[in-house]
Every structure is written in C-alpha cells, then in structure tokens.
Structure 1
C-alpha cells in the first residue's frame, strides 16, 4: 500500500513498471474488455490517441450546451417541499450526457433509463466480485447474481444494437462515429476491430456516468451540511447567470467558487477511492523490493485526508482552492483523476459537467437533507451516496450585494444533523 503522494506520483507516471492490474482490473476486463480503462500499457497509447479528439477542450462548447440542457431537464419537474432521490436524478443526468456524447440521440428515453438501471446493478455487484474473487460463488443462481448477469448482458446488447443501427444509418459526429471511421483504417494506427469499438463504448459509458453522478450527489450533500459554502455558491451563480436558466461555456471561467466546490468535493469525497497496479518486473519503491507481479494499492481518499497534505483535511473547505491561495497541498496529493499518461481522458469534460450541473440546479433550488442523521455511504467499487434523498426548496434570486444573498429560502430549516465528515458523503472518480 503506497501512502505518500510522491511515491504514488512516481508509480502512476511509470506505467511500464506499474501497469494496470489486480483484482479490480481483472474483474473490469471481464466486463469492459480491452478498452481504454482496462487495457495494458502496450495498448494504451494507440487507444488514447484515437479517443483524444473527442475530449479536446475545443469540443467543450457544444458539449457544455448539452450538459446544461440535461441538467435543466432533470430538475425542471421537481416540486417545492418534495423529497427527491438526488442519487437517481444525478445518475439520470450523467447517463444522458455521456450517452449523447457517445451516441448522439441513438438511445431513446426508455433505453437510457434501462442503461441507468443496468449500471446501478453492475456497480453494486462489481465490488463484491473484487473483494471475494471466488468465481464459484457467483455462478450460483441467486437473485443478486442473476441481476448482475442480466445487467451485464443487457448493457452489451444495447451497445451492440447502437453500433448496428449506426452502421445502417447516417454518419454522425460523435464518438461512435469516430470509432466506426477507425475500423476503416482512418484513425491513428491500425484499423479498429468491431470488438474494440464495442469495448471502448462500454468502458466510456461505465466510467463516464456513475462516478460523475456520485460527485454531484456528494457536492449537494456537503453543501447542505456547510451553509456558508452553499451561500457563496448561490451568490456566485446568481451573479454569473444574471437571470439565465443555465450557464454557457463562456461562463465556466467566471464560476470560480463553483469550481472550487467541485474540486473540494473531489478531494473530500473522491468517487474513485481505491485502485491497484501490478509490477511488470522486479523493482524498488521507497527502499522496498517488489517482485514481478506484486499488487500495489493506492487510495486517493487516504491521500486526500492526510492532514500532512491538507490542513483540516476532514472539513469541507472550498476556499482552499480559490485563486491566490497558498497551494492547498503538496504536488501530487490531489489525484481524483489519477496522474501521468493514464490520467483520466475525461477530466476536463467531467469538471465542466459537474460545474455546469451544479450551477444549473443551484440557480433554481436549494437542497437540504431530510431530518435526522446523514447515512454514511458504504464502500463499493466506487464511493459515494447511492440513495441520497433531499428536500427541494425553490430559490428566489436576489440582486448581487443584498445581505444573505442566496442563503436560504423563506421557511427553510437548518441543515440536519450529520455524522463526522470522515464518514459523511463520500464519493469517487475513475481513472482511465
């Protein structure tokens, strides 16, 4: 277990020696195939070059618009004083966004809802298969095992059908279109096979939906527990949007405090909380000899909560990330998206998506916890609130400079009692 940021950084940047592997990735390869998330070192560079154009910052303008559209659609039907399953709502949002990036409008509303159901079942069953790597246990036809197998099979069937439909239809400027062009040898490197197209789509769909949804759910939970951070977020959103329903791509640079909330959420509650690497040859790390095939673990959650790296590490303090502040932690200590050549390909995309969604929802609603303690999340393949229910309170935008701007709707009650922050509202982001 590597516990120091400098050693973790060294490991993540030496992908030849510390390759992706271990129980988690062994299970993920069964699920995702040889896609960008799970492929070994020798395949990664070619795959990354092929997919990178779809995640360039220049594409963010059109992607930001669809992110805002989906965020607005999710919270449009909420009603004042009603309880909302925020975990489910955020999963609906992120699934629709990543589906549109991958497939344009190839997935109808019913199919997209089915994908969300499948992803929830897959994530639920994946961790136990990693923690208890005894295959015989999962061949028993229990209800949970049948649900997991159905979810995996149905997800693959939906992807296969989307590819077949596109083959018969009109070419589109989305990631599926890019991959299909590469099967003809028009991409970087040799032509892709049909199986490689399938594996990439499954990998990006799984990696791009659940972890981002967990980050958003954690952000709303943490804001409800920290009224001052919430008040400042609402004030900034009101000032930047100036009456508009959602931010555009040009607003991202102005949503400084909102982005700080996102960064602090990823520090405090990283969805990807535990990962493994496997040594490809005998090596040395911090004076310890590691044989070939050694499993090395590292935990973003552990690094992010080390008080030597982040003062008041258990507190939710977005201000530590504001411009002009002293560096919030040593270089390499904040790794929600990993580091090195295998840093998440969608890090910029994910930051924009969470920032836009957070601002869109916060412009309309204040979310508060239901009375009683906040239930801590249980660790799984990722970490975060998967059954977070909150109460919606409509917000009336107040002119900038008015005392108490955006702080509380009339009749709002104080935030509910919460458990210590080390266990409250945890979350995660996958590294690709």
Structure 2
C-alpha cells in the first residue's frame, strides 16, 4: 500500500515543525491556497502527516463512507478529551447507528414548535435588556442568548442561572484553547502548563455539572418535555428496546451543549457583522422583518415568510462556517481520488476551504445572500458542507436553523447594530470560527417606530402558513 507521502506536499514546510507556522499565523489563507496543489494535499503537523481533501466530490465520498473514514484524528482526539468517546458526535462508526436511532426522537419535527417557543422567549428576554446607544460585546451577547436556549431546551431549568455562568466560563476555556491544543505535538499537550491546567480544570467541572443533572433526572422519573428527558426515555426498537447508558447520555448532552452554544453564537455574531458591512442588504432585511413581525419577536409561525433571513444565515454559513475544519481517520486501506491511503492515515476536510473555491462560487469572498435565491442558478450540491452529509450529518440542523433565524429576525426587528469607528474584526480560531473583539453599538428600531413603545408588545398571533417551496432548508451545525 502506498505511503501518504506520495500525496503532494504543500509548500512552506519547515524541518521538524512542518506547516505549524502557516497553520498558526494564517490558517484560513493557508487552507485556501491548497487546492492549487491538487485534489489531495499533504501537510505536516510537526512530524505527523495529514492529508487535506481539497475536492468537493472527494469530500462527499469521505463523509458518506464513514465506516472507512471514521471519526478520529487530531481534532476529534481533542474533542473527546471533553465530550468522551460515547456521544453521538464522538463515537466510532461501530456505535453510531444505534446512538443515532436513540437520539433521533429528541429532534422529531413534532417537538420543534415547543423548542421554538422556548427559543423565542429566551431571545426576547435577552434582547429586551439592551439599551439604545449601548455598546455590545456581540459574541458574548450571542452566547448569552444561545446558552439560555440550550439550557432551557436541554434541561428545562435543571441548570439554574447561578450555575450557568460557571459552566459558560468552562465552555469558553475549552473553545479558547482548542486550536492551540490541536496543534500541540505530544508530549507537549501533557505538560503542566497554565493552559493545559486550565483546560483540565474546565473539563472536570463541566463533566461533573452535567453528570449531576443526569443523575438527578434518573431519580425523578418525570418527563420534562426537553432533550434530556427524550434521551433518557429513548428505546431502540432494533436492540431489544435498550436505552442509552448514563455515559452515552452524558457524552451526548455535553456535545449538544457545547455545539448548541458556541457554534450558533458564532454564526449569529458573524451575521450581524456582515450585515453592518453591507447596508443595502441590512435595509432589505429590516424591510422583511418589519413586514412579517411588525416590531415583535419572531415565532415558529413566522419562519416560512422570513425568506431573506434564511438566506442571510445560509450565506453566513458559507462565508464564515463555525465548523471550519474537521479530521477523520482511515480504518482500512482505501483509494481516494488518484491516491492509495493506508489504514491509520489521518485526513482533513474543511467546509471553509470548499465553500471559498472560486470554481464553485462566483466572487466567493463576497457576502451575497441572494446567491441562495432559488430563482437563481444554484452552486453544485457538494459546494455547501457546514453540516456534513451522510449518516453522520448534523442531527440538530433544523433545530439550529430555527434558532438562528428566530434570533436574527428578532434582533433585526428591534435593533440596528453598527460597528465602532476604526474597529477591525478578525477571526478567532478554535473549534468554532468566531469573530474576535466584535463590539457594536445598538440603536433601538422599536423606539424610533413606536415612540418608545415597550419591546414586549406583540401583534395578534397568526396561524403558520404552509412551508414555502422557495426557502432552501439550510441548517447550521451542531453535533455530528
């Protein structure tokens, strides 16, 4: 079997460190440079080779064949440090199908209106606390919204506000240090450095908090109509109606919480940043939410009419995908493209790389929500990959899309957010791609329209219209 060193090596590799310098200084630009060197390109993480898949069809092939291209590699090794080996997103192929069957009822479409009601309440409460003229730390404000939504829909109050703050601090520690730890060459990742110690303390506290919640729920025998209750009650019809173990529930819940807070918060922060940079699109969005919401918060019934809002979220997912890079491990000798990859090889796929290819998108660096208008020619089917494809496609995609559209529509209906003078927003790289130091000034649109009418005013609810065939079912990533 051919060694992975037959795959062409990316430029700028240095002795001993390989490509650590470009991966540290400008990883997004480095990724975007790789397709020029082949459909598969080898990079070196120190002495360790990784094969980057640069072609959309080959990326799809690897994602669909999850038996051969299994969860593993540097990224999932780090993820498993926190979420464990037995969750829906982190488990190997051998365990995935059973866990997927058990978790799927928690995301049944019939549950979505109830989840959406909780989402709308959390979004309304958070945005009502803002004041006109206030300078917002946008990523932090979005984390406040998404964490309350995730805690409510996962645990129904089992994580009180006093406990939510410390949990979010530990989540931030995990995400802030993730990319640095991913690039660490063993045994550096095990040295007692301040960063490694902080990571371990956060991991221990986070797991302990969720394990205690699960233990309490096991003794209550009450259905709280939330995700945790659905996971506890789940039974597998193909496996003698067995349910999830406490370890499987714990690993899955930690995964859902991490993904449901950070990735969706990053997506919303990027959307607000991009809208402020494109005032004509922002004005059109304001016109849409004014017509649909009339100054009120968005609800599940409003979703089919928020077409531009959907497209803004979809384009933000393309341009700034929160899940920007992933790894897989080859479990059996296999061929990918024109190369033979032996078992044990680690491969990388990047939604960011694929979604920025100029041969797949016209003006790929341009923020253009209308590229997703179904009346226009659409990009190739494999050109948009923020949720993966195949059996391990994101289970919470519809949940996340609903949350993102409700939040963006409600914010746009009530507030206009503007950049501060001279501010330069750059990506902060971690497990999720999020904006660094994004502060924006909030101006109340509700007060301007209504003469300081209360933000909680609500129009008479209307029944939900049938789903619009013109709205593409784009969905942001959560657990995989």
- In structure 2, do the counterparts of structure 1 residues 212 and 305 end up closer, same or farther at CA, with 3 Å as the change threshold? same
Deviations 1:357-406 (A, max 9, x none): 0011111100011111422113222211143211001114899xxxxxxx
Measure how far apart 1:188 and its partner are. 7.6
Measure how far apart 1:298 and its partner are. 1.1
Counterpart residue number, 1:413: none
- For 2:437, which of 387, 397, 405 is the aligned residue? 387
Counterpart residue number, 2:288: 236
2:290 aligned with 1:227: no
**Residues 351, 386 of structure 2: 8 Å contact kept:** yes
- For 1:72, which of 108, 118, 124 is the aligned residue? 124
- For 1:165, which of 196, 209, 216 is the aligned residue? 216
Measure how far apart 1:4 and its partner are. 1.2
Unaligned runs of 5+ in 1: 400-427
Distance 2:367 2:418 in 1: 16
**Residues 64, 249 of structure 1: 8 Å contact kept:** yes
**Residues 103, 234 of structure 2: 8 Å contact kept:** no
Q: Secondary structure at the match of 1:384?
A: strand
Count of paired positions: 401
Counterpart residue number, 2:30: none
- For 2:100, which of 48, 57, 61 is the aligned residue? 48
Measure how far apart 1:140 and its partner are. 1.1
**Residues 46, 189 of structure 1: 8 Å contact kept:** no
Measure how far apart 1:189 and its partner are. 4.8
Counterpart residue number, 1:358: 408
Deviations 1:129-184 (A, max 9, x none): 11114244443152x33322221111111102211222343432222212323489
Measure how far apart 1:186 and its partner are. 11
2:88 aligned with 1:20: no
Deviations 1:185-214 (A, max 9, x none): 999853322212211111111121100100
1:257-406 maps to which residues of 2 (within 5 A)? 257-327=308-378, 329-396=379-446
**Residues 94, 208 of structure 1: 8 Å contact kept:** yes
Measure how far apart 1:431 and its partner are. 5.3
1:79-228 maps to which residues of 2 (within 5 A)? 79-142=131-194, 144-169=195-220, 170-182=222-234, 189-228=241-280
Distance 2:339 2:278 in 1: 42
- In structure 2, do the counterparts of structure 1 residues 188 and 119 end up closer, same or farther at CA, with 3 Å as the change threshold? farther
* Superposition CA RMSD, Å: 2.0
**Residues 67, 331 of structure 2: 8 Å contact kept:** yes
**Residues 185, 191 of structure 1: 8 Å contact kept:** no
**Residues 282, 291 of structure 1: 8 Å contact kept:** yes
Deviations 1:9-54 (A, max 9, x none): 1111111111111011112112111201111111111111111111
Q: Secondary structure at the match of 1:368?
A: strand
Distance 1:298 1:184 in 2: 32
Unaligned runs of 5+ in 2: 1-51, 450-475
